[in-house]
Structure 1
């Protein structure tokens, strides 16, 4: 049998070594010959197997209270059945830290040597490594709650309640000795354990080409993010006051500042990173010393900010968790932000890292609160030819992961040089921007934005190191990296939300986050016209808010619009036509008489449930009405390839785009098809944006 990857671990199914009974565990792995169907789930449920989640291709986790596994293996659609071995609960990140994934030696097929039915209860010899932060999650149908598990581990001396935080009934963060992680994995209720990587702000650490002032949308649209609230998780804000504001911020633009470590911790920004990031969104300043006296604005100068400092007084970020600290608390708070920008994530350790518990928290949050849009930086450990640098929490399916592209500011190496000619680097991905795909095979990043030596606010409680250029205005500074590209996209999202809310006809009072993301993706500009899009360098391209807003234009007099959007729900086994589009003949260029063909772009986005695999399996197909199979193309596929791959659905990515260049005249339909939903029987929400160029 072909090997599987579960939580980054290679696992080779072997029926000859599989357990025949589940006497010491209630959780099992079932691999099917083809994708599991609703009818297959019913057959398994009748035998006592309750579906949990997909963990690898055609491989699923079930709760199974009976002990006999042979009756499940006898089902005609089942290929392999085994218990859920404890070592599979450990993220592969532990091995890279020198912590073996099994408490004893492992056999050649990935099973613990000895009886494959035994739950590993012993631990390796005591490790000299200091205790580490770990994230633990339980199965959805676990017999115990996380409080029960925490109490067991405290009583056995594995963890201390002083360094333990119960986040939800199925999630906990704690500190444990590396030698004890196997004891935790041996608990049957535990589903996944991963170590926390150290988090840091994502400034560019090597390449420092300089750009012009903060990238901003076309303000002729009149949209500035007014009425929108953006939450920023970073190193604090300026002097820590919502009243005594930095001069580049308008009065009342900062609604609240908190610290995730508690009210006794500082709120100000002594690093300078957080204030700069906030300025990329809402800065509205005029400087006689910089930019020739022009106004310097963030991408959403009319929006309001909620700032969450994620460092304690010593600058430590250990023990913070993105979903409860940065997402859920402000979302449910008085100011109710719906766009979130976070420029802190785990440092890339130099090897691929799988989807982890924090990624699960983020997916669970966004699936629960569908009007939220979360932007997270890709990181700056990139290098030419590097791949699979996006993982851990950044592998969350519902995130908008932002990379960095270069810009046009004249420069010499890493310093602004006005004597140099203007460059054209804004069509090039910054070499330091982390690349995808994720270990789960998803395209990342989603978008890129200018992120090289961006000019924004300097905290009055921080010093400027001039690492990224010298500002002639002591209230402003330059910084680089995906850290500053991310708030650029968050500000653009706030502008799109405002436009949806204020749309003169058919307004959207509470825009879904996936709809905003679909508009961002469909309006993005490919960096290289000849490159395959999406790709794992620049995703779907450079953010272009004017292009995204064009989808919302209402023609006058009424005519077929050039673009639009559709939101709907879909059940498993169904197909929904999101939009019918009439493509006219090529437009004639008067000077030459030549015909210019059209280009159709359609994007599908939906939010998925917690878990490394895509559970709500949707796919996009654009097809010519009455046409042949070759006159159709699925999302993320290339219509110019004639081997049939263009018509093969993508069942992995929750963001899918068709970009049909030189599309022939005719009638077309953009169809969304669903092959499975989770939870079973619950329709999945989806959102489509389209534009005819």
Structure 2
């Protein structure tokens, strides 16, 4: 079981003081009552919390706000009598929330340097952001010009040194203090590797290309900033260009955003570069949120958050959002308010699929991994980079010159691709896709560059990075969404789309820390009802009730095999379960996948011999199943071993036999 953690700080409840403000306080009162103006506690139970115990706590005015790991909860508790909680047989200990836990570890150094931070308020905070901001100005002497209120009055951004941040952490309504990191971009061969040409039952049936899907790209900008007079790859398919980093401009002098857009849904042709050049969803429609500011950074003076970007996309009926940007490397970052923002939005808008680049920090030294912040969110699809098949020399494509060059291996994970796991030990990236020497559309407002390869056509350019892999995956999501809608699923959930993508991914043979669940294979992910016989999917829901916290699906092996049997004597079963969890560094609703084949001992998702309490993506790969016994029963079980934070939890389940 994972240890409890707050803002990247592991702790034990027993080690915390009874009164964080005055640790020398004495007398019986010290043990029985909370300090004044303290409404947030951490509560540890003897065992996973059961439903009757949950109701008991509710009757005692305990509001369970976030599961922290290790049978420990962050709670709002307005009464002062804490002894009544400690006296409960199922409670191991309860203490006030310590201010030190509110500060990220990186903010605890005593170097005196001023840092820009986000002060995130507690859920149900007693004080408003305006009140806290005024209190900070009055007591700590921070200028109002250095303070802004963001994200619907739930975040205060300011600059201060360590001493001032420690004082701010003592304010009860403050939930966390997190350093603001500078953001950066993570800079038709790929279509072949991804098997992006998807058809129906025969070569003459429909080819799926992302029709009627709207994809939002949050990036530098788009071409010349004119949605009507576009680069040839996007003619007639740009719905809206939204300025964010600059007050009115949406053009792309950098070139990054236009290249990304082309990888999602570009549809062009170049005789000089070999013919058709397409993204993975060449019939989808585009919305661009231009993040580039006048200094070449992201967001500029805009106070919009990631949640605001997602909400804006949803308002325009765009259910796929792709992001090829993230924090500049300093160290591996924890699950933070950016992760929370994403997970909160997807858990409350379960039809929104969000893709994020894993990052280009694979060459950086680290104790565990590289992936953090946005890409560490549980509910996004974090995308790493695998190598392309193009012939190259010194990591560059040199058009039509083959002397001394080497063909890339799609099973290699790019050296720069950020590795997992996250600091929370979660599997990331989720998947990988080609990200080296990707040929895509060049912005007409960007200067020519041959850094990643020489193009002989000025309308097209090469680039490399997880930035390039991510939009290819976003286009695959658009195609999957199209196939589901044509099969009668009107509003596919992000969990179902992610489960299909992950279940269809193929192993590169590399470690999970590098490849996640494998390299995307779009054709292998598509399931067409009445046509695809060896695969299936469903969406279900667990309720926080004793008789409805388990789901069981029974399959018969023969129903998943061709009538005349497979070519081999044994087959491999793959089952993937995905759900969009509530925000929090730990799993808030821990549900588990368990698979049984015939009379063999069952296996749990990811770990095999025991349940996984860290990941909301779980997979069982069961090879060597004899194909001759067509009556073999396959049992898929999804259950909640611990009481859930909410009343219910939706999930998606996908299976295949090959």
- The residue that corresponds to 1:207 in the other structure is none
Q: Is 2:528 aligned against 1:552?
A: yes
- The residue that corresponds to 1:581 in the other structure is 555
- The residue that corresponds to 1:357 in the other structure is 337
Match of 1:498, SS state, is helix
Q: Is 2:651 aligned against 1:686?
A: yes
Q: Output aligned runs, 1:106-145, within 5 Å.
A: 127=112, 129-130=113-114, 132-145=115-128
- The residue that corresponds to 1:565 in the other structure is 537
Deviation by residue 1:19-59 (Cα, 9 ceiling, x = unmatched) = 42321311111122222222222233333322111123211
- The residue that corresponds to 2:82 in the other structure is 69
Deviation by residue 1:208-252 (Cα, 9 ceiling, x = unmatched) = xx979996611545111110001101100110110110122222x
User: How far apart, in 1, do the equivalents of 2:348 and 2:562 lie?
Assistant: 49
Q: Is 2:635 aligned against 1:669?
A: yes
Specify which of 442, 454, 472 is matched with residue 426 of structure 2.
442
Structure 1 residues 679 and 147: alpha-carbon distance in aligned structure 2, compared to 1, 3 A threshold: farther
- The residue that corresponds to 1:370 in the other structure is 350
Structure 1 residues 211 and 394: alpha-carbon distance in aligned structure 2, compared to 1, 3 A threshold: closer
Structure 1 residues 309 and 594: alpha-carbon distance in aligned structure 2, compared to 1, 3 A threshold: closer
User: How far apart, in 2, do the equivalents of 1:422 and 1:378 lie?
Assistant: 26
User: How far apart, in 2, do the equivalents of 1:176 and 1:384 lie?
Assistant: 28
Q: Output aligned runs, 1:195-214, within 5 Å.
A: 195-203=179-187
- The residue that corresponds to 2:494 in the other structure is 513
Structure 2 alignment gaps of length 5 or more: 20-30, 201-206
- The residue that corresponds to 1:543 in the other structure is 520
Q: Is 2:254 aligned against 1:235?
A: no
Is contact 2:218-2:288 (8 Å) kept? Answer: yes
Match of 2:515, SS state, is coil
Q: Is 2:640 aligned against 1:657?
A: no
Match of 2:513, SS state, is coil
- The residue that corresponds to 1:336 in the other structure is 317
Match of 1:349, SS state, is coil
Structure 1 alignment gaps of length 5 or more: 101-126, 204-209, 638-645
CA shift at 1:678, angstroms? 4.5
Structure 1 residues 434 and 238: alpha-carbon distance in aligned structure 2, compared to 1, 3 A threshold: same
User: How far apart, in 2, do the equivalents of 1:287 and 1:2 lie?
Assistant: 53
Match of 1:200, SS state, is strand
- The residue that corresponds to 2:604 in the other structure is 634
- The residue that corresponds to 2:196 in the other structure is 217
Is contact 1:458-1:477 (8 Å) kept? Answer: yes
Deviation by residue 1:346-395 (Cα, 9 ceiling, x = unmatched) = 12313x32111111111111011110000000001103985321112222
Specify which of 405, 411, 416 is matched with residue 432 of structure 1.
416
User: How far apart, in 2, do the equivalents of 1:272 and 1:677 lie?
Assistant: 49
CA shift at 1:176, angstroms? 4.2
Match of 1:87, SS state, is helix
Deviation by residue 1:480-519 (Cα, 9 ceiling, x = unmatched) = 000010001000000000111112xxx1111111111111
Give the number of aligned pairs: 625
Q: Is 2:586 aligned against 1:613?
A: yes
User: How far apart, in 1, do the equivalents of 2:639 and 2:191 lie?
Assistant: 44
User: How far apart, in 2, do the equivalents of 1:149 and 1:494 lie?
Assistant: 43
TM-score (norm 1): 0.84
Structure 1 residues 586 and 500: alpha-carbon distance in aligned structure 2, compared to 1, 3 A threshold: closer
- The residue that corresponds to 2:8 in the other structure is 8
Deviates more, 1:210-219 or 1:67-76: 210-219
Is contact 1:523-1:547 (8 Å) kept? Answer: yes
User: How far apart, in 2, do the equivalents of 1:99 and 1:258 lie?
Assistant: 42
User: How far apart, in 2, do the equivalents of 1:546 and 1:304 lie?
Assistant: 21
Deviation by residue 1:428-487 (Cα, 9 ceiling, x = unmatched) = 111111111111121000000000010001111111221101001111110000001000
User: How far apart, in 1, do the equivalents of 2:597 and 2:167 lie?
Assistant: 58
Specify which of 142, 152, 177 is matched with residue 135 of structure 2.
152
Structure 1 residues 490 and 607: alpha-carbon distance in aligned structure 2, compared to 1, 3 A threshold: same
User: How far apart, in 2, do the equivalents of 1:657 and 1:671 lie?
Assistant: 12
Deviation by residue 1:553-584 (Cα, 9 ceiling, x = unmatched) = 4239xxxx311110111123545445322124
Alignment root-mean-square deviation, CA = 2.8
Structure 1 residues 290 and 596: alpha-carbon distance in aligned structure 2, compared to 1, 3 A threshold: same
User: How far apart, in 2, do the equivalents of 1:450 and 1:579 lie?
Assistant: 35
Structure 1 residues 316 and 155: alpha-carbon distance in aligned structure 2, compared to 1, 3 A threshold: farther
CA shift at 1:197, angstroms? 1.1
Match of 2:49, SS state, is coil
